[in-house]
Structure 1
Amino acid sequence: MVARMKTMTKRVAVMFLGVTLLTGAFAQIGVAVGKPQRPLPVVEHVMIISIDGLRPDRALLANMPTLRMMVREGSYTFWARTTAVSITLPSHTSMLTGVTPRKHGIEWNSDLPLKEPVYPKRPTVFEFATRSGYTAALISGKSKFATLAKPGTVSWTAIPQEANSKDTNAEVTAAATKIIEAHKPTVIFVHYAEVDSTGHAKGWGSKEQFDKIEETDGELAQLFASLERAGIRQSTVVILSADHGGAGLSHGPDDARSRHIPWIATGPGVVKNSDLTQNAALEVNTEDTCATALWLLGIPVPPYFDGKPVLAAFETP
């Protein structure tokens, strides 16, 4: 099969300063003929939103009307767990590959000054989706997320271009809405960085971080509005989570204050206003996010996965 790749890179408008938008049609090598049969046919898109550093108790105390809408209209737990290392890049890589850091190999947490980039040892949800004939978008507020954008696996990206740099939540939302409304990707990942950076600067639980959490809820509202304008909200399952919490000015290994994260799913086929902790045997882990996305798209979950689809959140046939 002849491979075709058209990649266009353009500088996003001034409001997206420092973000580059890549658009294109990806090579068809290894892509399945016809898309998989989805268990819930009404679900055509999956959006994963990560609020970096969002500790569950902070989310519950804050004025977050959009998050509360997701709870009312979906299934949730505020006792989900991230990886034991509880730091940004390894945790997000687990969220998006379905495996622990030991398996995916991303155990550092910054841009590496290497001549050749290093990508996870296991495929991301973007790669699984692209192989299956879907499209994928990655929008992040931190430059180190370029590690997750292996060439040929992500259809559109918006990531800061300078090493160890960050974009504001507003810039992330602007880039995400532009991609959503123009392209309607099948898999959409949106990462907000400022709750985490405020925690490091002012402390977890500080007034400044509290204010940033409430401000971020406004960004969530804009994402939902973008799905409406694109005409895909009624066919999109949205999963909101985080990579870690924190205490003091940091977060770290196997600290309960760092390791507990929220996990909320809403959209078509999702059980409404359902607290997943009602099932005492169910423990939701960050690796389950990738597994759930694959299941929704009809992509088989590989046997090596540490994650599992959170089937209790859905009205399965």
Structure 2
Amino acid sequence: MISQPMQLLRTCLALSLALIAAASAAAPIPAKDRVVILITIDGFPAWLWHDPALPVPTLRKLAAEGAEADSMEVVNPSITWICHTTLVTGVGPIQHGVLFNGLLVRPGIDKPPMIDQWRDKADLVHVPTIYDLAHQAGLKTAQVDWVAILNSGTIDYEFLEIPKPTGGIEGELISAGILTADDLHNFIKGKSPAWRDSMYNHAAIDILV
């Protein structure tokens, strides 16, 4: 629940995942009537959780009915993509290979380096993720606005940070009257962060139900 630079809600839905069982090839196949959901809030520091004025009743209810920790130890550098990739691989950046919010690209001698966010997951992440292992175990996986995940090949349902106009979940939201084709075309430009957050939430609900 705690990672670094302030952006928006990110959700990785691992549908029908049993995390420990899927992580071991020798473990029994987990029950397929279970749903595990990982939700991270980018830029949410541990100290803020202890502020009684913070209006997060749903999060507090989940913590009260489950378990919570006072803080988490972040990796170095504590940047969004690095932290999130560590969460789903269990190893630090020196092993998983994600060192920036994207892939560092050097266009040429006379040009400055740049960060390319729209690179395939295989170019970025060099070790298996929990969703890779779950998919290999025959479980269904899904993601909404996760990072370093483009064209992973192991996600069954997804709604990207910039959604695909021809995506399956996108089509279902259009059919339900939640999105329009024009909304998808202008998903980043002309739309507020709060509106985009609501669309990510709608996509997560659509996948779950």
* TM-score normalised by L of structure 2: 0.59
SS of match in other structure, 1:47: strand
2:169: which partner in 1? none
Q: Considering Cα pairs closer than 8 Å and 6+ residues apart, tell me whether 1 or 2 has the greater RCO.
A: 1
Name the aligned partner's letter for residue 159 of structure 2: A
Aligned to 1:70: 62
Percent identical pairs in the alignment equals 24
Letter in 1 for 2:132: E
What is the DSSP-based 3-state SS (H/G/I as helix, E as strand, rest coil) of the residue aligned with 1:93?
helix
**Out of 40, 47, 51, which is 1:57 matched to?**
47
Post-superposition offset of 1:119: 3.1
Question: SS at 2:81's partner residue?
Answer: helix
Q: Is the 8 A contact 1:138 1:149 kept in 2?
A: no
Partner of 1:124: 129
Q: Which runs of 5+ in 2 are unaligned?
A: 1-26, 104-114, 164-187
Distance 1:116 1:168 in 2: 22
8 Å CA contact retained: 2:143, 2:157: yes
Structure 1 CA distance, aligned partners of 2:69 and 2:85? 21
- C-alpha separation in 1, matches of 2:69 and 2:117: 39
Structure 1 residues 71 and 134 mapped into 2: Cα distance closer, same or farther (>3 Å)? same
The structure where strand makes up a greater share of residues is: 1
Using the alignment, how far apart are the partners of 1:115 and 1:84 within structure 2? 23
Q: TM-score, normalised to structure 1's length? A: 0.40
Structure 1 alignment gaps of length 5 or more? 1-34, 182-317
**TM-superposition CA deviations, 1:269-298 (whole Å, max 9, x none):** xxxxxxxxxxxxxxxxxxxxxxxxxxxxxx
**RMSD (CA atoms):** 3.0
Shift of 1:103: 0.3
Partner of residue 196 from structure 2, selected from 164, 168, 178? 168
> 1:154: which partner in 2?
155
- Secondary structure of the residue aligned to 2:67 is strand
Corresponding position of 1:177: 205
